[in-house]
Amino acid sequence: MKRWTVFLSVLVLLICCCLPVCAAETEDAFPYICDTELLLTDSEWISLEELAEQISRQYQCAVYFVTVDDYTYYGDGSIYEVAKEIYLTYDLGWGTEKSGVLLLLSMAERDYTLIAYGYGNTAFTDYGKDYLSEQFLDDFADDDWAGGCRDYLTTCGSLLKQARAGNPLDITSRIRTWHLVLISLILGFAVALVICLFWQASAKKAVKRSAEAGHYLTQGGVQITQRDDCYSHTTQTRTKIEKSSGSSGGTTVDRQGFSGKSGKF
């Protein structure tokens, strides 16, 4: 009986010791929305944190949004280098590949950087990062932090969905879109040309045209003493079309496995 009492006492002690550790781990877990500058209200943070977690779980690629006062307090180098240091220090990312994308705002000089890692490099190409930035920069320029964060998250979800379907947004996607537009314009022009030719042929049957301008004058209108139809000249206009060098697309990845884009908001 004494042996069982000692065993139960040790078990209770172990449980009590483990609880603070678990609580500490939960509290120290890096959130998807890390707003150290308190730009978001409590309700906005809760809503955006749930959205970020939902997108991250659905596409197995973590989506982070971080705000700081001055990025220079958190590491050396550019804001891009500091964002990478944050990502590595806090062991961010989804799964064994640590896949993810992180948007860091530094309020001191209104700097931002957008970095990707693992599968994030596949889903967020160089062209994709440009497109993604266009969706939130106008909001942040107007100090609409919740709106900008939501646009960032929803666009991340759209790009991840497109990438998981096997067609990540890239420069080639834009080229294909322009090809479709060009084909539509050509088809529309061809249809319009056929209609015009048909209308012209019908008009010729209804009205017999004269080759001389004098036949179109009414009786007693103008007395023409001499008529000459002379060919003068033909005007040609030529426009030089510049060839674009284009881009091969894809994602530029550095030696640490990150890709990114930085700027001002």
Q: Which pLDDT belongs to residue 15? A: 33
Q: Which pLDDT belongs to residue 206? A: 52
Residue 12 has pLDDT above 60, yes or no: no
pLDDT higher at 207 or 80:
80
Residue 202 has pLDDT above 80, yes or no: no
d(CA 96, CA 130): 27
**Confidence grade of residue 239 (pLDDT, cut at 50, 70, 90):** very low
Average pLDDT over every residue of 145-164: 98
Q: What sign for the dihedral angle of Cα 155, 159, 165, 171?
A: positive
Indicate the length of the chain as a whole number. 265
Q: Which pLDDT belongs to residue 36? A: 98
Query: What is the DSSP pairing of strand 111-117 with strand 62-68?
Result: unpaired
Q: Which pLDDT belongs to residue 172? A: 79
Contact between 170 and 250 under an 8 Å Cβ cutoff? The reply is: yes
Mind listing the pLDDT tens digit for each residue in 22-66?
333 334 589 999 999 999 999 999 999 999 999 999 999 999 999
pLDDT higher at 40 or 214:
40
Contact between 60 and 94 under an 8 Å Cβ cutoff? The reply is: yes
Mind listing the pLDDT tens digit for each residue in 90-122?
999 999 999 999 999 999 999 999 999 999 999
Average the pLDDT over each of 87-96, 170-179, 186-195 and give the range with the smallest value.
Answer: 186-195
Average pLDDT of every residue of the chain: 77
Residue 75 has pLDDT above 60, yes or no: yes
Q: Which pLDDT belongs to residue 117? A: 98
Q: Which pLDDT belongs to residue 173? A: 54
**Confidence grade of residue 253 (pLDDT, cut at 50, 70, 90):** very high
**DSSP secondary structure code for residue 96 in this structure:** T
**Confidence grade of residue 252 (pLDDT, cut at 50, 70, 90):** very high
Average pLDDT over every residue of 202-228: 56
CATH topology of domain 29-171+257-264: Diaminopimelate Epimerase; Chain A, domain 1 (3.10.310)
Question: What's the CA angle centered on 127, arms 144 and 140, to 5 degrees?
Answer: 10
Mapped onto helix, strand or coil, the DSSP state of residue 235 is coil
Residue 221 has pLDDT above 90, yes or no: no
Q: Which pLDDT belongs to residue 29? A: 84
pLDDT higher at 7 or 70:
70
* Domain residue ranges of the chain, discontinuous segments joined by +: 29-171+257-264
Contact between 55 and 161 under an 8 Å Cβ cutoff? The reply is: no
